[in-house]
Structure 1
Amino acid sequence: MVEIKKKENNKVFFDIVLKSEDIKKAETEVYKKNKKYFEIPGFRKGHVPKKMIENMYGKDVFFEDAINELLPEAYQNAIDELKLDVVDQPNMDIDEDTMGKDELVVNVDVDVKPEVEISGYKGIEIEDPTLTVTDEVIDSEIENQRRMNARIINVDDRAVKDGDRVNIDFKGSIDGEYFDGGTAEGQDLEIGSDTFIPGFEEQIIGHEIGEEFDINVDFPEDYHQKDLAGKTAKFEIKLNSISYEELPEFDDEFVKDISEFDTVEEFKKDLREKKEEEFETTSLMEKQRRAIEALGDMVDVEIPEGMVRNQMDQSLANYDQTLRAQGISLEDYVKMIGSSIEEFRESARPGAEKTVKNDLALEAVVKQEGLEVTDEEIEEEVDSVVKEYFKDDEEHQERMKEYMLNENKEVVKSDLEKRKAVDFVVDNAVFVEPKEVEETEEEKEEK
C-alpha cells in the first residue's frame, strides 16, 4: 500500500517499493533482450550465460535497466492508488540504504494540480461589453462596400497627395550600409495608412512620377527588429506611379449591383439585422472572456512550473501550426523578428500563467456548483465536431467519432464542463456601465 509521506505546496512525496524477487525477474528479462549484444571468447554470440556476463561486467550490469523496466508501471499504479492529478514528470531517487535488501525503496516527488477554492463569483461585477448597432456602424459598413467597389484612377498630371496610392521602389541604409528587409521594388502603399515607419509616408507627398529622392526616418525604440530599433535610416525612393480611389455613389443602382435588394432602404434594413446578430454573438463572447478573466484573478495559489511549461509548449505548438498554414516555420519567424525560439517561448509565459489560472478557476466552479456533463452531451459535441471537420466524408466521421469517444472522452467532458462554468458565471454576473478612462497628461497635451 502506497502512502503520501508529506506534501509541500503542490509537491507530493511518496515511496515506491520494489521487491528483490521482482527485480531479479526483470534482470533476467533484460538479459534475454540484450544477450545478443554480448561477445565473450569461447561462447557463441547471443549464448553467453547471464552469470558469465555479470562476472565480467559486474553483478549489477542489468540492474539499472531492470529498475527502468519496473518503475513506469509501479509509478502509474501508485498514482492511481493515491488518486493524484500529476502535472509534471516525477523526480525519482533510489534510497541507497535499501540497496541489496529484500525491498528496494525509490523516493518519489512530483508536482500535482493545485486544489483551488474560489468565492464571490456569484453576482460578480463585470463591465458590460455589449455592442450597439448605431447609424455610424451602418455608415461605416456602407463605406466599406463603396471602397470594395471603388475604381482606381491613375494620375499623371500632379504630385502625390495624402490619401493617394503610390507604387515605389526603395532601398534602406543605415550609416551607408543597406540592411536586410529594407529593399523592395514595385511596392504599393496608401499614403496616410500608417503602414510604414512613422514619417515615411508623409515624405512622399509632393513628389511626382519618375522622381528619385531620399527620405530619412527614425526607427521606433520598440521596433520588432532589435538591430534597427532607435536608428536613423535613409531610404532611396523611386516613384513609379500615383493613383487614387473613386468611390461609387451609394444609391439604388449600386445596391442592385452588389446585393439581391432593389433599394437603399431594403439593403440598410438587412444590413442592420445582420450586424445586430453579429454584435450579439460578439458581445456574448466578450462577456465570457471577461468572466473567465475575472475568475482567474480570484485564484491565489502557487502554480507548479510544470503546468506553466506545458501550457507554454502548447501555445508554441499552436503558433507554429498557424504559421505553417501561412507557409512559414516558427524557426524562420523568430529569426525574422530578431529573436530565438527560447526567447519567444519565454514571452509566452505571462499568457500561459493566465491560461492555467483561468482553467483552475473554471474547474473550481464546476466542482463547487456540481456542474455535470452527460454522455449524451458528450456524444452530441463529438458528433458536431466531426461533422464540421469532415463534412463530406461520413466514413471518416464515424471513425473519428469512435476514436474521440474512446480516447478523448475525458478531454471533451472537461471542455464541456468548463463551458458550463463560464455560462454559470455569466448568467449570475452583474454587468455594469464601463468606467470612463481618464485622460493622461500626455493625451491632454496632444489635444
Structure 2
Amino acid sequence: MKVTQEPLPQSQLGLEIEIPAETTQQAYEKVVQNLSRSANIPGFRKGKVPRQILLQRMGPQRIKEAALEDLVQDGLKQAIEQESIEALGNYKLTSTYEELIRQFQPGKPLKFSASVDVPPTITLGEYSGLSVKAEETQPEADAVDKFLEQRRVEQATLIPVESRPAQLGDVAVVDYSGRFPGEGEESTEISGAQATDFQIELGEGRFLEGIIHGIVGMNPGETKEVPVTFPEDYPREDLAGQSAVFTITLKELKEKELPELDDDFAQEVSEKETLAELRESLETQFREKAERETATSKEQALLEALLEKVEIDLPETMIDQEVQTLLTQTAMQMESYGMDVRKLFNAETIPQLKERSRPDAITRLKQSLALQEIAKRESLTAQPEEIEAKAKEVLEQLSGQDVDPKRLREVVESDLIKEKAVKWLEEHATIELVPKGSLTPEQTEGEETPQEESQTEAIAQEEDVDAASQTIDVQAEPAE
C-alpha cells in the first residue's frame, strides 16, 4: 500500500493512501459473500442465492458502498501501522464520499485522502536564565492573635442580657415582618419577609444593615418599626433597591462571653497541651503557608515567562482531552461540596463550559509540553522509589475509588518530571521577589481568580436559579 504524508496545520498529518487493486477486489468479494449468506430473497434459501440474482436484487451501488466503507477504515488503520504514525485521534476522511463512490472499481487501485492528529512539534527558545518578578508572601505579624481571637468568638458562651439595650456584637432573638409602605394606612406585606424566633448576630455584614442598626438600642420586649432599603444587588429582583418597613420585636438579647486565653482553651480547640505550644504551631503553619504562596507565585511567574519562549501548534484532540479533564476536575470539586452535578452539567451548560475552559486548557497544555521538553533536553527523570512513594500517597487520597495502578504511575511520573523541570528553571533563573499585591491587585475575600471563575460558572448559574426563592433571612439562624 502506497502512503504519502504531508504536515498540516494544528499538528495534523495529511495522508494520501493508495489501496492495491487486489485488495479492492477482495473487499468487494467479501461483501458479496457476506450478503449471499445473510440475504433473505424469496425463492432461495439463505446461502444459496446465485451471484447474479444477488447483484440484481441488492444493486451494485449498495455493495460498492459497503465495500468502500471497509476499504477506507481498514486502509487508514493499516497506513498508520505501516508508517509507524503516532496518531492521537481526530481521524478525518478528506476525500468526498461521493467522489470515492464514483472512483471505486473492484479490481482497480483506490486512492483517498485522510488526516489525523499527531503529537505537536515543540519549538522552544532560550529557557535558561529567565528573569522574572514574583510576589513574596510574609505572614501577618498579628495573624496568630487574630486566629486565636476568632476561635475565642467561636467558642463563646451566650449569656442572657436584660439590664441594657442591644449593642453591636450581641445576639438577638426577634420576630419580624416586612411590608411595602402605601398611601395612608394601606401597605403590602412582603412575601417571605416574616420570621419568628430568629437569632441574628448584630454585626456588620451579618444581615440587612438597616435591620441591624434598627435593633441596636432596643430593649428586650420592645417592638419597633424600622425603615429599610434593600441593596441594589439584592438576590431577589423584586426587592432590590426597594424601600420597606419592618416591624421588629426583640424577644431575647444575649451577649458573648469569651473563654480565657489559657492552656485550657488551647486543649479545647487543638491537640496541644499548652497555649505556648499552640502559638508555636500556628506560627509554623502561617509561615509555611506564606512560603507555599511565595513558591506558587515564583512557579507561576516562571511558567508565564516560559510561555513566551515556546511555540506549539496544538492538535484539536489534545485540546478536547484537556478541556474534558478540566471539566471532570470541576465536577469532582463541586460534588465534594455536596452539589448536584447533574444540575451543573447538562446539555445546555456543557457546551458553554467547554468554550470557557478552552483558553485555560490551551495554556495548561503549552506549559506542560514545554516542561516535558525541558526535562527531555536536560535529562531530568523520576526515580522508581520517588514514583512509588508518590503513587502510594495518591492512592491513600483516592481510597475507595477504582484506580488503574499503571495509569496512576504514568501520571505520577509525568507530574514528578514536570516538578523537576520547574525546579531546574528556578535554579537557572533570576527571580526578584516583590511585596505581595505589587504585581496584581490583592484578591479580596470571596473574590475569585479568572481560572476559579471559569471553573465555577455552573455554580453561579445554579445560584441565579435559587436566588428568586431567597428571602431576607438568608443569614439568620433559628434560635435554639
User: TM class, shorter-chain normalised?
Assistant: 0.7 to 0.9
| Superposition map of 1:180-199 within 5 A | 190=201, 192=203, 194=205
Residue of structure 2 aligned with 1:276, choices 282, 287, 309: 287
Partners in 2 of 1:57 and 1:347 — Cα distance?
50
Q: Is the 8 A contact 1:169 1:184 kept in 2?
A: yes
Report the residue type matching 1:206 in the other structure.
G
Does 2:101 correspond to 1:100?
A: no
Greater alpha carbon shift after TM alignment, 103-112 vs 48-57: 48-57
Report what 2:377 is aligned to: 368
Q: 1:18 to 1:118 in 2, by over 3 A?
A: same
Report what 1:251 is aligned to: 262
Residue of structure 1 aligned with 2:326, choices 287, 297, 315: 315
Task: Give the secondary-structure state (helix, strand or coil) at the position aligned to 1:351.
Answer: helix
Q: 1:380 to 1:352 in 2, by over 3 A?
A: same
Larger RCO, structure (CA 8 Å, separation 6 or more) = 2
**Shift of residue 356 of structure 1?**
2.1
CA offsets per residue over residues 257-286 of structure 1, 9 Å max, x none? 444555433332233234434444454344
Identity %: 24
**Shift of residue 126 of structure 1?**
3.5
Q: 1:279 to 1:358 in 2, by over 3 A?
A: same
Q: Is the 8 A contact 1:94 1:105 kept in 2?
A: no
Report what 1:2 is aligned to: 3
Partners in 2 of 1:388 and 1:143 — Cα distance?
33
Q: 1:170 to 1:230 in 2, by over 3 A?
A: closer
**Shift of residue 115 of structure 1?**
1.9
Greater alpha carbon shift after TM alignment, 343-352 vs 366-375: 366-375
Q: 1:192 to 1:81 in 2, by over 3 A?
A: farther
Q: Is the 8 A contact 1:319 1:330 kept in 2?
A: no
CA offsets per residue over residues 141-184 of structure 1, 9 Å max, x none? 2223323322234567777654455678999999x9999x9999
Q: Is the 8 A contact 1:2 1:78 kept in 2?
A: yes
Report what 1:91 is aligned to: 92
CA offsets per residue over residues 419-439 of structure 1, 9 Å max, x none? 221222233333213267499
Partners in 1 of 2:32 and 2:190 — Cα distance?
65
Q: Is the 8 A contact 2:37 2:48 kept in 1?
A: yes
| Superposition map of 1:181-260 within 5 A | 190=201, 192=203, 194=205, 200-207=208-215, 215-220=228-233, 228=237, 232=241, 245-259=256-270
Partners in 2 of 1:130 and 1:290 — Cα distance?
12
Report what 1:356 is aligned to: 365
Let me know the Cα RMSD of the aligned residues. 4.6
Report what 2:431 is aligned to: 431
Partners in 1 of 2:174 and 2:28 — Cα distance?
74
Report the residue type matching 1:15 in the other structure.
E
Partners in 1 of 2:430 and 2:413 — Cα distance?
28
Greater alpha carbon shift after TM alignment, 11-20 vs 227-236: 227-236
**Corresponding pairs, count:** 419
CA offsets per residue over residues 58-80 of structure 1, 9 Å max, x none? 22424444444454554344445
Partners in 2 of 1:411 and 1:263 — Cα distance?
43
**Shift of residue 34 of structure 1?**
6.8
Report the residue type matching 2:350 in the other structure.
I
Does 2:14 correspond to 1:13?
A: yes
Partners in 2 of 1:305 and 1:235 — Cα distance?
55
**Shift of residue 108 of structure 1?**
1.2
Partners in 2 of 1:312 and 1:182 — Cα distance?
43
Partners in 2 of 1:54 and 1:387 — Cα distance?
63
Q: 1:260 to 1:356 in 2, by over 3 A?
A: closer
Partners in 2 of 1:134 and 1:271 — Cα distance?
12
Structure showing greater radius of gyration is 2
Task: Give the secondary-structure state (helix, strand or coil) at the position aligned to 2:123.
Answer: coil
Report the residue type matching 1:346 in the other structure.
E
**Shift of residue 129 of structure 1?**
4.1
Gapped regions of structure 1 (runs ≥ 5)? 441-447
CA offsets per residue over residues 183-220 of structure 1, 9 Å max, x none? 99988765556477xxx334432136876767433444
Q: Is the 8 A contact 2:228 2:245 kept in 1?
A: yes
Q: 1:140 to 1:45 in 2, by over 3 A?
A: farther
Partners in 2 of 1:186 and 1:28 — Cα distance?
85
**Shift of residue 92 of structure 1?**
0.6
Partners in 1 of 2:51 and 2:225 — Cα distance?
85
Does 2:341 correspond to 1:341?
A: no
Gapped regions of structure 2 (runs ≥ 5)? 181-187, 442-480
Q: 1:345 to 1:140 in 2, by over 3 A?
A: same
**Shift of residue 354 of structure 1?**
1.9
Partners in 1 of 2:16 and 2:193 — Cα distance?
61
Q: Is the 8 A contact 1:194 1:201 kept in 2?
A: yes
**Shift of residue 409 of structure 1?**
5.6
Q: 1:437 to 1:414 in 2, by over 3 A?
A: closer
Task: Give the secondary-structure state (helix, strand or coil) at the position aligned to 1:434.
Answer: strand
Q: 1:67 to 1:266 in 2, by over 3 A?
A: same
Report what 2:416 is aligned to: 416
Task: Give the secondary-structure state (helix, strand or coil) at the position aligned to 1:348.
Answer: helix
**Shift of residue 107 of structure 1?**
0.6
Partners in 2 of 1:327 and 1:91 — Cα distance?
41
Report what 1:145 is aligned to: 151
Partners in 2 of 1:90 and 1:39 — Cα distance?
35
Report what 2:446 is aligned to: none
Residue of structure 2 aligned with 1:119, choices 122, 125, 131: 125
Residue of structure 2 aligned with 1:267, choices 266, 273, 278: 278
